[in-house]
C-alpha cells in the first residue's frame, strides 16, 4: 500500500468521511480576500482572527518543515435532528460531546499510525483551532468547494461535517481540487433572516445568528430580537435549504449523540434551566462556549418569538 492510501484508509477506519492532501504553500489567492474581510470588520468581536495573519496564510510558518496539509471531514448530521427543528433550536454540530476533544483524539491516533508506518515524522493536528485557514485547505485538497454561504460543500456529503487538518513534514501526492457546483442557486442567501451573507462566500459575522447566539458578549441588538427564528445556539438555516444536503448522511459517532434528557425537555423546562442542569447535561458540549447566562437569555428570546 502506498503512503497516500495508508493515510486515507487509516482516516476512514477512525471515522473520518473523507481525507485529502494539498501541498503546503502560501495562500496567495486567499490572503487579500481575508485581509479585505478583516478591514471591513466582518469578524465583528472575534478579534483573534486578526492575529497571526502570516501563520494563517502559510502553514510552513505555523509548523516548521510542513510539506503537506492533510484535510479531513467528519460527519455530524444526527439521525434525529428534532433539537434543530423545535425552539429553542440547537445547531446540529452541538448536540454531543465537544468535537474539538473527540476529533483531536482521532487525529493523534492517525499521526501515531503514520509514525509507526513511515518512521519518525513530525506533524501537528488542528480542529477548528489555531491560525489555520481550514476552508481554503479543504477546497485546495478537493474535500469540496466553498459555497455561497462560505461553508465547504461536497457533492457526496453536503455540508454537515467538521473540518480538521494535520500539518506534516511528509510529501504526499496532492489531490485535485473540485469545481464549484452552486451555479445560480441563491437559496442560502435568500433564506438568511438577518441578511448575513453580504456577497458570494462573504459573511458579515455581526449579522449571523450563530455569532449573535454564541460569540457576541454584549446584549443582542434590537434589530435582531425578532429574527432568531427560534435559534438558541448557532443556526443551520443556510445549510437546511442547501440542495446538496439531501446527500448528507447521519453520523455513527456515539460521542456526538445528545444527552438522553434533552429531547424530552419541554419549553417550561428550558426556560427554567439552572446552571447545575446546564453543566450536567451540556457542560461537555460546544454549548459551553456561550456560557450559562448567554444560553439562558437566548432560550428566552427563542421561545418568545
Q: Tens digits of per-residue pLDDT, 163-217?
A: 999 999 999 999 999 999 999 999 999 999 999 999 999 999 999 999 999 999 9
User: Domain ranges in the chain?
Assistant: 3-83+91-168, 187-245+258-304
128 is catalytic: yes
Evaluated on CA atoms 92, 94, 95, 100, the torsion sign reads positive
Determine the pLDDT at residue 261.
Answer: 85
Mean pLDDT calculated for residue range 132-158: 98
Mean pLDDT score across all residues of the chain: 96
Which is catalytic among the residues 128, 169, 180, 240? 128
Buried b (16+ CB within 10 A) or exposed e, 89-119: bbbbbbbbbbbeebbbebbeebbebbeeeee
By the 8 A CB rule, do 93 and 290 touch?
Answer: no
- Binning pLDDT at 50, 70 and 90, where does residue 38 land? very high
Residue 1 has pLDDT above 80, yes or no: no
Q: Of all residues in the chain, what percent carry a pLDDT higher than 90?
A: 94
- The band of 305, judged by pLDDT with boundaries at 50, 70 and 90, is low
The predicted pLDDT at position 129 comes to 84
Predicted local distance difference test score (pLDDT) of residue 304: 79
Q: Tell me the average pLDDT across 116-142.
A: 96
Average pLDDT score over residue span 43-61: 97
Amino acid at each position: 500500500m502506498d503512503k497516500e492510501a495508508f493515510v486515507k484508509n487509516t482516516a476512514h477506519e477512525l471515522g473520518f468521511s473523507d481525507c485529502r492532501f494539498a501541498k503546503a504553500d502560501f495562500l496567495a489567492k486567499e490572503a487579500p480576500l481575508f485581509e479585505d474581510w478583516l478591514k471591513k470588520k466582518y469578524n465583528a468581536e472575534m478579534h483573534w482572527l486578526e492575529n497571526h495573519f502570516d501563520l494563517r496564510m502559510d502553514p510552513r510558518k505555523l509548523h516548521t518543515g510542513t510539506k503537506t496539509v492533510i484535510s479531513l471531514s467528519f460527519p455530524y448530521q444526527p439521525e434525529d435532528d428534532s433539537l434543530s427543528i423545535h425552539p429553542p433550536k440547537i445547531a446540529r454540530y452541538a448536540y454531543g460531546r465537544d468535537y474539538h476533544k473527540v476529533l483531536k483524539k482521532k487525529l493523534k491516533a492517525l499521526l501515531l499510525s503514520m509514525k509507526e508506518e513511515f518512521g519518525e515524522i513530525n506533524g501537528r493536528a488542528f480542529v477548528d483551532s489555531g491560525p489555520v485557514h481550514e476552508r481554503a485547505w479543504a477546497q485546495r485538497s478537493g474535500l469540496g468547494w466553498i459555497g455561497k454561504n462560505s461553508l465547504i460543500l461536497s457533492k457526496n456529503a453536503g455540508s454537515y461535517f467538521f473540518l480538521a487538518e494535520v500539518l506534516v513534514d511528509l510529501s504526499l501526492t496532492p489531490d485535485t481540487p473540485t469545481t464549484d457546483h452552486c451555479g445560480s442557486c441563491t437559496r442560502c442567501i435568500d433564506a438568511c433572516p438577518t441578511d448575513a451573507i453580504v456577497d458570494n462566500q462573504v459573511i458579515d459575522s455581526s449579522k449571523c445568528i450563530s455569532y449573535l447566539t454564541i460569540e457576541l458578549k454584549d446584549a443582542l441588538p434590537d434589530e435582531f430580537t425578532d429574527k432568531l427564528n427560534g435559534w438558541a445556539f448557532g443556526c443551520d438555516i443556510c445549510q437546511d435549504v442547501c440542495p446538496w444536503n439531501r446527500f448528507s448522511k447521519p453520523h455513527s459517532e456515539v460521542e456526538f449523540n445528545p444527552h438522553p434528557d434533552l429531547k424530552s425537555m419541554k419549553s417550561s423546562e428550558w426556560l427554567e434551566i439552572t446552571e447545575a442542569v446546564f453543566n450536567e447535561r451540556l457542560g461537555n458540549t460546544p454549548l459551553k462556549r456561550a456560557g450559562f447566562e448567554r444560553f439562558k437569555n437566548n432560550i428566552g428570546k427563542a421561545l418568545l418569538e
